[in-house]
Copies of this chain bind each other. A is one copy, B any other.
Amino acid sequence: MNWTVYLSGEIHTDWRQQLKEGCEAHNLAITFTSAVTDHQASDAAGDVLGEESNNFWRDHKSAKVNAIRTKTLIESCDVAVVRFGDKYKQWNAAFDAGYCAALGKPYITLHDETIIHPLKEVDGSAMAWATTPGQVGEVLKYIIAKG
């Protein structure tokens, strides 16, 4: 079985890259999927459908175009990894976690100890909590490669 792993959340560090490289080093049969991680492109996702003068509707249009991708990819993944950094609101990451929880889709959270308390509901429905991409890679290796 080939596994599909959806990578949700923080886009300002290279955790996705680290995780992918780690899994490649283990030769794991994983397809990684993700939202569009180019921040500017993501904010402008709906612009091709016409300019908006109102900020709320510009964001709304882009959010829905992005959701065609994220909703489809989350629903077709086997496991998700949801990463929270130490900055920004990152409500989309928590939203994705709730989406996974309601679908019964297992997810692993990836965040520092400093934000354990505000993430307790998100961690409460997670299957595992990791603090480094290396740990996530080890968990995926165990889940997928172990005979």
Contacts and interface: CB of A to CB of B under 8 A. Distances in A.
A28 interface: no
A26 interface: no
Given A48-B135, A135-B48, A135-B49, A123 B59 contact: yes
A57 to B, nearest CB: 5
Interface in A16-58: 31, 33, 36-38, 41, 45-46, 48-50, 53-57
Contacts of A129: 49, 56
A120 B142 CA distance: 18
This chain's copy number in the assembly: 8
A-side interface mostly: helix
Given A48-B139, A49-B129, A147-B38, A67 B99 contact: no
Interface residues of A, number: 81
Given A33-B1, A64-B127, A68-B143, A55 B116 contact: yes
Interface in A68-113: 68-73, 76, 78-79, 84, 88-104, 106, 108, 113
Contact of A104 (B48, B73, B104, B106): B104
